[in-house]
Structure formats: C-alpha cells, structure tokens
Amino acid sequence: MLKSVALFGTSADPPTIGHKKILEELSKIYDFTISYVSNNPNKKHKEDISIRSNLLKTLIEDLDNPKILFDQRLSSKWAVESIKKCKKIYEFNNLDFVIGSDLIKDIFSWKNFDKIIKEVSFFIILREGYPVKSNTIKMLETYKVKFRISSTKIPNISSSKFRLNFNYSNLPTSLIDIVKKNNLYESTKPVE
C-alpha cells in the first residue's frame, strides 16, 4: 500500500506556533510528515541553520508524534535537492511538497521548477491574509502543476513577525526558554 508523505522544509527562523499547527495538521492528513530546516536563498536568516534546526527538532520531539519525523539530512537551499534526497533515503515516490500560500507564487522561479513539478505534488497551506489568487491557480494549471489546497487556515503568525515584535506567545512553549536562555534573536528585539 502506498504511504502518503508530506515533505515540509522551512527556514524556521525561529519555529513559531504556526509551524507547530502546520505539523499537527499534516499529521492528521498524511501517514508521515518529514520536516527539516533549510536556508532559503531568497531570505536573510537571523540565526545559523544549526540553531534553527535544533529549535525545529526540539519542537518535533515535544510533539511526540510518530507520524512527524525530523531529518536534517534533507536540507538544501534548493527544493529539488531536498526532494531527491528524501526519495533516495526513504524510498517514497509519492511525495507532497508542503508550501504556504504566501510563497506559492514564487515556485515558478525556483531552480529546476520543471523537474520539481514532475517529482511532487504541492500541498498548499492557507495562511491567513494570503489567499491563493485566481491568477496563481491559472498559472499552476497552465504549467500542469499537481496541487491541493488545505482546508485548514494557519494564523498569520510568522518568524519575521516574531523577530519584529518579540511576542513570546507566538513561540511554542517548548522553545521559549531555549530562545531566552541563549539570547537568540536578541539583536532584533526592539529597544525599550
């Protein structure tokens, strides 16, 4: 029997309660969700990838759900490379690549976009404030991209918003002490 597998790469700078909700929702839909931290070539990251991956790993361990796996070996700044690694390591051919509705329009300019759309289907997570516009859907259909749109909406809580306002309630409980004790993201904290 084919297993349904979600591949969820994220920059997680830091992981927020939005990431936690996405992981929890994916575990209700898929047999397995495999997550990792990557460096997005279109973003400047505040903390080093080793710190961010440790935070995501801690979050996933705290979720204690055997259907959610953390595997940093899959990390690459290019989605196509992460997909190849995942298929090779896990021998899953049926993968859904998870992407937020705020980023779906960017996939058309991704490195090896033409190869990616042959390798995976996209599972689009709706993020509050970022609807999937009809022109984006038309482009997905024009390029014959296989995709589904999640019925679950994720609150508009992002890593960048956390870095702007330092609202610790946007972090999963298991990460708050780690972030505070290690003075992570301190240089982005507003001056009082």
d(CA 136, CA 155): 21
Q: Are 121 and 146 in contact (CB under 8 A)?
A: yes
**Domain edges within the chain:** 5-188
Q: What is the mean pLDDT of residues 49-68?
A: 98
Read off the pLDDT of residues 116-130 as tens digits, 9 standing for 90 and up.
999 999 999 999 999
Q: What are the backbone dihedrals phi and psi of residue 144, each rounded to the nearest 5 degrees, phi first?
A: 55, 40
Write the CATH number of the domain with boundaries 5-188.
3.40.50.620
**Tokens in use for 128?**
């509050």
pLDDT at 16 over 90: yes
Please give the DSSP secondary-structure letter assigned to residue 130: B
Number of separate helices (H) and strands (E) present in the chain: 7, 6
pLDDT given for residue 153 in this prediction: 86
Q: What is the mean pLDDT of residues 11-37?
A: 97
d(CA 149, CA 36): 21
pLDDT given for residue 192 in this prediction: 47
**Nearest by Cα to 159 from 30, 37, 2:** 37
**Tokens in use for 29?**
């839909």
pLDDT given for residue 79 in this prediction: 96
pLDDT at 18 over 80: yes
Lowest mean pLDDT among 26-30, 97-101, 157-161: 157-161
pLDDT given for residue 88 in this prediction: 95
